[in-house]
């Protein structure tokens, strides 16, 4: 006799009560509740373990039929097995700081044959996830982690990001006011990637900024923002016809680049892990 199955997806941030709501819905409908978060962890583990590109949808879909994923529901928990091996919820994670070089892209592969950060990093990091991106012409601090939860939490956080820039032109009073008060652009692609379809963008007021001065038609400055939108600073200054010539990220939250040389990486120190765990705890992020 075939058992009828029904799947209900409830989206929301970690700790929002998705499981509790799902249990109520299942009870009302008379169905057995199974936490598919366990299944998700099983799929995530299997994809990472297979060493394929997690962004390659076709490769992931081709892998799934061979996983032999099984669930063993109980009154208090749900166990998930991949090819007979039980997948446990992770309680530990690792993070590295990588000093991205100009001329590298933050991607597993590039259809134009350009160098990627994974070509420079040791092979052991080939399945690690980057926290956001720095574009091809940018450099500086890039975080990578072996935990999808940590990557997502940091990527969508309001932690401060500090940058040093050199722009072509002079920073006018209008630019300073926009850094202080925020900016909204519409129907504009200045500073954006040539293939972007995003023509509107809102910029929150900068947390801090410092203008070092102008020389030879260029201006150097330091800015601190707490957003991570695609090519955000290039688009901000591009709106005022200021081309960003150099862009270097030197800090992300409590983590800083320090004296780490370009193309090199390091693991977080114990104190840095403690600060990161404090951030996760304050934001009720379970890992």
CB 236 within 8 A of CB 163: no
Bridge-based pairing state of the strands 255-256 and 265-267: unpaired
Q: Which of 38, 89, 87, 43 is nearest to 66 (CA)?
A: 43
Q: Is 28 left (phi over 0), alpha (psi -120 to 50) or beta?
A: alpha
How many residues would you count in the chain?
A: 287
Residues 24, 26, 29, 32: is their CA dihedral positive or negative?
negative
Bridge-based pairing state of the strands 243-252 and 161-168: antiparallel
Contacts of 188 (CB under 8 A, 6+ apart): 199, 200, 235, 239
Q: Which of 162, 165, 164 is nearest to 256 (CA)?
A: 162
Q: Which of 225, 252, 236 is nearest to 155 (CA)?
A: 252
Give catalytic status of residue 246 as yes or no: no
Catalytic residue of the set 35, 53, 56, 135: 135
Based on C-alpha coordinates, what's the Rg of the chain? 22
Q: Is 198 left (phi over 0), alpha (psi -120 to 50) or beta?
A: beta
Contacts 24+ apart (CB under 8 A), 172-176: 172/240, 174/240, 175/237, 175/240, 175/242, 176/211
**Catalytic machinery residues:** 135
């Amino acid at each position: 006799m075939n058992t009828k199955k029904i799947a209900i997806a409830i989206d929301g941030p970690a700790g929002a009560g998705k499981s509790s709501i799902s249990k109520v819905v299942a009870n009302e409908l008379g169905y057995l509740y199974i936490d598919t978060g366990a299944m998700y962890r099983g799929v995530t583990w299997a994809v990472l373990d297979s060493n394929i590109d997690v962004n390659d949808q076709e490769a992931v879909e081709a892998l799934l039929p061979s996983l032999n994923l099984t669930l063993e529901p109980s009154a208090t928990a749900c166990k998930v097995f991949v090819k007979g091996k039980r997948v446990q919820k992770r309680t530990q994670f690792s993070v590295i700081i990588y000093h991205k070089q100009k001329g590298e892209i933050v991607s597993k592969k590039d259809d134009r044959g350009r160098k990627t950060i994974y070509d420079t990093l040791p092979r052991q990091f080939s399945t690690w996830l980057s926290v956001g991106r720095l574009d091809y012409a940018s450099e500086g601090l890039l975080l990578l982690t072996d935990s999808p939860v940590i990557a997502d939490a940091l990527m969508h956080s309001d932690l401060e990001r500090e940058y040093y820039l050199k722009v072509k032109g002079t920073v006018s009073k209008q630019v300073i006011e926009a850094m202080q008060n925020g900016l909204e652009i519409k129907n504009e692609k200045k500073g954006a990637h040539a293939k972007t379809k995003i023509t509107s963008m809102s910029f929150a007021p900068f947390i801090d900024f410092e203008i070092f001065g102008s020389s030879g038609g260029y201006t150097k400055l330091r800015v601190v923002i707490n957003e991570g939108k695609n090519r955000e600073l290039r688009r901000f200054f591009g709106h005022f016809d200021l081309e960003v010539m150099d862009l270097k990220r030197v800090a992300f939250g409590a983590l800083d680049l320090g004296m780490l040389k370009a193309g090199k990486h390091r693991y977080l120190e114990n104190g840095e892990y403690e600060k990161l765990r404090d951030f996760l705890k304050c934001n009720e992020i379970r890992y």
